A and B are shown apart, each in its own frame.
Chain A
Amino acid sequence: MATDIIQAISTNLLSPAVLFFGLGLIAALLKSDLKFPEALYVTLTIYLLAALGFKGGVAISEAGIATVFLPAVAAMALGAVIPLWIYPLLRFGGRLRPVDAAAVAAHYGSVSAVTFITATNYLKGINEPYENYATAFLAVMESPAIVVGVVLGKMSLGPQPGIFGGSLRKVLHEALLGRSVFLLFGTLVAGALCGKAGMDRVEPFFVGPFQGVLALFLLEMGLVAGRRLEDLKKVGPFLVAFAIVLPLLHGFLGVVVGKYAGLSVGGTTLMGVLAASASYIAAPAAMRLSLPDANPALYLTPSLAVTFPFNVGIGIPIYYAFARYLVS
């Protein structure tokens, strides 16, 4: 298995998308003035999410909602329970303040769409088939952990007066109608309604350029992640170790869940990737709104500067090796 893993990692590291990501990291570390305009970042995000959602929706229309239902529920449950052991681990093992532990827990239960997309790209590169409807798991897995994390944090803080106190409504709105979840759900539904005939009409735009767009986007994400590397000093060794070890454990757990949900090796890998990935856009936004007392350096830096690059470069092929080992 060890040689399998090393082989898989080197294949991954030499794919265009991951090389572009590395290039971005290096550019940021060397303080190059390479910079994407913010509008391009947003455009690329929308393209990737819409293409992914639409393709996933078409796959749902072909597989039938009954096939997707069980693994989707499993993915959602996994997202919701992950914070429940991260919270005590950080609280008592890492000696974090309760509100910080809750915020980190929300990030690691939630998911990174970019990591997921990179993983689908990896599977395509090695000709490993996967369930295209796995996008539905991505869509349902972003929010539950955010809600659970915010509830844990609010419980630890007690009732708070004023703008930051009160209702779960704001949290739910932020978690369920955030732009990535909204776009993914919307395009999943559109894809499911159109089916294969609809796919034929948008394929040249949404499928053909996808890998090139992803490579460009990962260049930008390399820059974004690389610029946060200097913040690692503020985080401390415990959280840095946490940001690598926990994804490995969660990746394994996700693979086990994927296997029992009846997915293929490819689909099981993706479930592992989702469990292992951590949010760095949706979750921080929700935390600043609902748990502003939590320290952003403690949740954003591990997730964006450690876990995300780790998964993109090394984690994904490891979860694939887990999946192959367990499923076949």
Chain B
Amino acid sequence: MTTHAVKLVTIICEALARKPLQQLLDEVGAHGYILFTVEGDGRQGRRTADIREFANIQVEVIVAPAVAEQLLLRLEREFFPKFAMVAHESDVRVLRRDKF
């Protein structure tokens, strides 16, 4: 079995950042993502997730290393000043490289 090295980028942010974030994922060339509602506590206060709009979302996207770099760069430049947000990348291995 051959696996290929790619990046998993995880973004946790306020739910209201969802639409611009989707646009960014499109622009950098991500082929898909998953998203779920999460709650928690951070520097910018507790997110109770009592109403969908006030919740946090976690977005996970698997991309090629170059795309991950581009994505994180633009998140830092364009999103971090405006939204409550955490982003990190990790190394993962996938079977079908062309899918991502």
Question: Residues of A at under 8 Å CB distance from B?
Answer: 35-36, 38, 41-42, 162-164, 220, 223-224, 227, 231, 281, 284-285, 288-289, 292-293
Contact B20 A41 (CB under 8 A): no
Known A-B contacts A163-B23, A163-B78; the reply to A284 vs B16 at CB < 8 A is: yes
Query: B55 to chain A: which residues have CB within 8 Å?
Result: 38
B91 at the interface (CB under 8 A from A): no
Contact A41 B50 (CB under 8 A): yes
B17 at the interface (CB under 8 A from A): yes
Q: Which residue of B lies closest to A287 (CB)?
A: B16
Interface residues of B in 1-59 (CB under 8 A from A): 14, 16-17, 19-20, 23-24, 27, 37, 45, 48-55
Count of chain B residues with a beta carbon within 8 Å of a chain A beta carbon? 22
A37 to nearest B CB, angstroms?
10
- Apart from A38-B50, A41-B50, A288-B14, what 20 extra A-B contacts exist at CB < 8 Å? A35-B50, A38-B49, A38-B52, A42-B52, A162-B78, A163-B23, A163-B24, A163-B27, A163-B78, A164-B82, A223-B50, A224-B50, A224-B54, A227-B48, A227-B50, A281-B51, A285-B16, A288-B16, A288-B83, A289-B20
Contact B50 A36 (CB under 8 A): yes
Query: A227 to chain B: which residues have CB within 8 Å?
Result: 48, 50
The CA-CA distance from A227 to B50 in the complex, in Å, is 9
- Name A's interface SS: helix
Query: A223 to chain B: which residues have CB within 8 Å?
Result: 50
Contact A284 B53 (CB under 8 A): yes
The CA-CA distance from A285 to B20 in the complex, in Å, is 12
Q: Which residue of A lies closest to B45 (CB)?
A: A231
A31 to nearest B CB, angstroms?
11
| A to B CB contacts below 8 Å, 27 in the list | A38-B49, A38-B51, A38-B52, A41-B51, A163-B20, A163-B23, A163-B78, A164-B20, A164-B78, A164-B82, A223-B50, A224-B54, A227-B50, A281-B51, A281-B53, A284-B16, A284-B53, A285-B53, A288-B14, A288-B16, A288-B17, A289-B19, A292-B17, A292-B82, A292-B83, A293-B81, A293-B82
The CA-CA distance from A238 to B5 in the complex, in Å, is 55
Query: B23 to chain A: which residues have CB within 8 Å?
Result: 163
The CA-CA distance from A281 to B55 in the complex, in Å, is 12
Query: B19 to chain A: which residues have CB within 8 Å?
Result: 289
The CA-CA distance from A162 to B20 in the complex, in Å, is 10
The CA-CA distance from A285 to B24 in the complex, in Å, is 18
**For the complex of A and B, 4 pairs with smallest distance between CB atoms:** A288-B16, A292-B82, A163-B20, A224-B50
B55 to nearest A CB, angstroms?
8
Interface residues of B in 62-97 (CB under 8 A from A): 78, 81-83
Query: A284 to chain B: which residues have CB within 8 Å?
Result: 16, 53
The CA-CA distance from A35 to B51 in the complex, in Å, is 11
Q: Which residue of B lies closest to A164 (CB)?
A: B20
Q: Which residue of B lies closest to A41 (CB)?
A: B51
A65 to nearest B CB, angstroms?
33
